[in-house]
């Protein structure tokens, strides 16, 4: 089932804006494209470029990173649609990228022959637009039409244009939408569900569609029929269809808050509200409804634990039965990483102490489900997903910090898997080893972390060490191969550490909920405990310990900076939230109040204020050197967060660096050159500060 990810743009409440202007002398930096703010950003960029580009590490790292990003030896990830395998690809010759396709027989070859479907560089030149590829939504079952999302400069707001993959042309009178944070999905060939800015009152205070309409081909958008209206204070509402062989269902999804949803099944012209807790993830698999619980649920005389995966025949569920098959039950250190469907099975991916285990679940005639292990390596990050919903073929990937990613093609009716693609070794991993450790947090919780270091590392506290974390939104941090990290950090003698702090999903919903709202400090205490453990183990010491994080991880960096300035030698803070007093009034912030709380409520500002970095910078404190990076085109996390924090610290005579990329969106970069440059700045900064 298609679950939208709401990274949204709230409307700015004017009363709140005016009330706080006097209290915030740097609020003018929230004017994203204002001349004064952009002049300030460009001046800061010049200072940062002048210092870091002069570093002897910068150019070799930059050139190496760009070569890795542009390498034609990278694995071209594909999606099967009909007979074709589609891929979007960027390299030195295709800066903005090409959308292309091939056959399975060709894909098996070391150098497949690709057929170009859409060349974004040509399109950008022809239309004089800085197009960035976002998404392609195919029409089932012929897969000849597609709704393509294109962004100006990489932001979340997109232009939607219908495209014919047979003629390789845009459909001029098709389903086309102007730039907005819209939602659109095929209902059938001649109608779509659409939510967009229809005019006054049609968007929520989070800046996403409140109204879902059915739009028929050949009619003006203004004549589209209203199917559903959510509340103005919701995060969003959307309509969409799911298609599997023999099964077509249509849904409306209302999101009153980030971790809450109210789901409706459309039957004819009637919407049937599904009787479910609002914090579940609801899906569909053929004749079954699937339900992933975020909290425990007592129903039908049974209690199902948070983190469980349940299934029931749709017919019985709609008739009132609440007798579920339990497809997964969490344990103290086990959680559900994902579940993916093939034609006849569901592949369940479990995390056991942050290590993957795979199982194949199959419905049986008696209503039970069989459970069979899917063989996989003992170590590394493992993923499996159906190639499509018309076969039991599946993609299987294996990766870890030191082993280049391998892509296999398997089928659930045979044991062997075919190795299709493997990354080359982009850095020298000889002599490196991965180990897993635990730190004890302030409240006694055991918090795991991974360490990548030289075998036989001398424990004298001098190793340059980079600690990375996120700790939010139930996102798990698992091992993965990064040629850039290896080339720019590990080859330079650095130690890399990945933290599995609370707020993430490593141990299921309860691990996430342990750091929600008033409990946010738990995530920060966990990160501090890992840093202190690295120092206690003599892996590193404060002058050699650096930290890096982005988005919610950027907030983590800001909190570490202000709470424990004595603990770290350098900080890289990317696309961060930092002003937690105003975050819910800036771009997507209002949609995240389920994670952080509402700072406009005094009782919630009371706990947010204790860690909000922008409000906790103090004159006279010696802070570690910090590099802030952001993007002007980030329409998810407002660039004003990084701008204001840098300006405030600079006014207090702190030695800070700031760099703002003009394009890039929340990812910070719109193409490989920009990504290589941004990453080279970060690594050159860290090597300069920590060696």
CA distances from 676 to 65, 301, 456 (A): 5, 56, 31
Q: Is 118 exposed, middle or buried (0-12, 13-18, 19+ CB in 10 A)?
A: buried
What residues contact 228, with CB distance under 8 A and at least 6 apart? 211, 212, 237, 239, 252, 254, 264, 271
Two tokens at 447?
């918090």
What residues contact 132, with CB distance under 8 A and at least 6 apart? 96, 120, 150, 151, 152, 153, 154, 663, 665, 670, 671
Q: Cα separation of 196 and 202, whole Å? A: 8
CA distances from 238 to 171, 204, 247, 250, 487 (A): 24, 12, 20, 11, 43
Q: Cα separation of 496 and 686, whole Å? A: 12
* Nearest in space to 615 (alpha carbons), one of 586, 639, 649: 649
User: In the chain, how many H helices and how many E strands?
Assistant: 15, 39
Q: Cα separation of 476 and 104, whole Å? A: 32
What residues contact 68, with CB distance under 8 A and at least 6 apart? 426, 483, 484, 487
What residues contact 195, with CB distance under 8 A and at least 6 apart? 182, 183, 184, 208, 209, 210, 211, 212, 213, 236, 237, 238, 239
Two tokens at 604?
């919630």
Whether residue 77 contacts residue 87, with contact meaning beta carbons closer than 8 Å, is answered with yes
CA distances from 686 to 5, 57, 69, 353, 547 (A): 32, 10, 21, 30, 9
With H, G, I as helix, E, B as strand and everything else as coil, classify residue 161: strand
Q: Is 303 exposed, middle or buried (0-12, 13-18, 19+ CB in 10 A)?
A: exposed
Q: Is 551 a catalytic residue?
A: yes
Alpha-carbon radius of gyration of the chain: 25
* Nearest in space to 450 (alpha carbons), one of 463, 433, 462, 464: 433
Q: Cα separation of 391 and 493, whole Å? A: 46
What residues contact 71, with CB distance under 8 A and at least 6 apart? 91, 424, 426
Q: Cα separation of 681 and 3, whole Å? A: 35
- Look at the chain and count its residues: 691
Which candidate in 62, 253, 641, 666 is catalytic? Answer: 666
Which candidate in 551, 591, 612, 631 is catalytic? Answer: 551
Q: Is 248 a catalytic residue?
A: no
Query: DSSP per residue over 497-560, as a string?
Result: EEE--BTBSTT-HHHHHTTSGGGTHHHHHHHHHHHHHHHHTTS--GGGEEEEEETHHHHHHHHH
Cite the active site residues.
551, 666
């Amino acid at each position: 089932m298609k679950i939208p990810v709401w990274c949204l743009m709230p409307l700015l409440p004017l009363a709140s804006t005016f009330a706080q202007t006097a209290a915030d002398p740097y609020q003018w930096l929230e004017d994203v494209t204002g001349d004064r703010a952009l002049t300030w950003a460009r001046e800061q960029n010049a200072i940062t470029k002048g210092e870091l580009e002069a570093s002897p590490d910068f150019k070799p790292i930059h050139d190496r990173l760009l070569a890795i990003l542009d390498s034609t030896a990278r694995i071209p990830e594909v999606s099967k649609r009909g007979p074709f395998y589609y891929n979007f690809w960027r390299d030195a010759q295709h800066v903005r990228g090409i959308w292309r396709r091939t056959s399975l027989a060709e894909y098996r070859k070391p150098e497949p022959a690709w057929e170009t479907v859409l060349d974004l560089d040509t399109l950008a030149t022809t239309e004089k637009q800085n197009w960035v590829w976002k998404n392609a939504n195919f029409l089932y079952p012929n897969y000849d039409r597609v709704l393509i999302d294109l962004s100006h400069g990489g932001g979340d707001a997109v232009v939607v244009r219908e495209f014919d993959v047979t003629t390789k042309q845009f459909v001029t009178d098709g389903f086309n939408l102007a730039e907005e944070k819209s939602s659109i999905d095929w209902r059938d060939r001649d109608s779509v569900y659409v939510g967009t800015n229809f005019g006054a009152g049609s968007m929520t205070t989070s800046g996403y569609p409140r109204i879902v309409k059915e739009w028929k081909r050949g009619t003006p958008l203004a004549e589209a029929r209203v199917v559903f209206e959510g509340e103005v204070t919701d995060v969003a509402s959307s309509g969409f269809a799911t298609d599997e062989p023999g099964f077509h269902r249509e849904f409306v999804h209302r999101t009153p808050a980030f971790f809450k949803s109210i789901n409706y099944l459309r039957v004819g012209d009637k919407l049937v509200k599904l009787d479910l807790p609002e914090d579940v993830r609801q899906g569909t698999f053929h004749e079954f409804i699937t339900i992933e619980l975020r909290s425990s649920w007592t129903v039908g005389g049974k209690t199902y634990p948070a983190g469980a995966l349940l299934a029931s025949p749709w017919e019985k569920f709609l008739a009132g039965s609440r007798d579920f098959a339990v497809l997964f039950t969490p344990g103290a250190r086990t959680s559900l990483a994902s579940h993916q469907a093939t034609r006849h099975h569901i592949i369940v991916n479990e995390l056991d102490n942050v290590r993957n285990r795979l199982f194949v679940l199959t419905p049986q005639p008696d209503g039970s489900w069989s459970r069979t292990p899917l063989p996989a390596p003992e170590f590394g990050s493992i993923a499996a997903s159906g190639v499509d919903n018309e076969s039991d073929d599946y993609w299987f990937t294996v990766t870890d910090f030191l082993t280049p990613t391998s892509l296999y093609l398997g089928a659930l009716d045979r044991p062997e898997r075919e190795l299709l693609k493997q990354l080359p070794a982009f850095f020298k991993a000889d002599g490196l080893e991965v180990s897993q450790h635990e730190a004890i947090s302030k409240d006694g919780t055991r918090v795991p972390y991974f360490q990548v270091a030289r075998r036989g590392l001398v424990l004298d506290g001098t190793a340059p060490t980079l600690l990375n974390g996120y700790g939010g939104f139930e996102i798990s941090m698992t091992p993965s191969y990064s040629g850039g990290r290896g080339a720019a950090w590990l080859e330079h003698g650095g130690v890399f550490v990945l933290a599995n702090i609370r707020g993430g999903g490593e141990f299921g919903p309860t691990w996430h909920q342990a750091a929600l709202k008033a409990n946010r400090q738990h995530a920060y205490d966990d990160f501090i405990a890992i840093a202190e453990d690295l120092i206690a183990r003599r892996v590193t010491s404060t002058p050699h310990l650096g930290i890096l994080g982005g988005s919610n991880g950027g907030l983590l960096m800001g909190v570490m900076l202000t709470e424990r300035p004595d603990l770290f030698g350098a900080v890289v803070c990317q696309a961060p939230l930092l002003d937690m007093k105003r975050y819910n009034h800036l771009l997507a912030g209002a949609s995240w109040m389920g994670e952080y709380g509402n700072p406009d409520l005094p009782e919630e500002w009371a706990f947010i204020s204790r860690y909000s970095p922008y409000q906790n910078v103090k004159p006279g404190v010696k802070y570690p050197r910090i590099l802030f990076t952001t993007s002007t085109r980030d329409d998810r996390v407002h660039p004003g967060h990084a701008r204001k924090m840098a300006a405030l610290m600079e006014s207090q005579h702190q030695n800070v660096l700031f760099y703002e990329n003009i394009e890039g969106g929340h990812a910070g970069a719109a193409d490989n050159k920009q990504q290589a440059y941004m990453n080279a700045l970060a690594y050159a900064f860290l090597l300069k500060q920590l060696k």
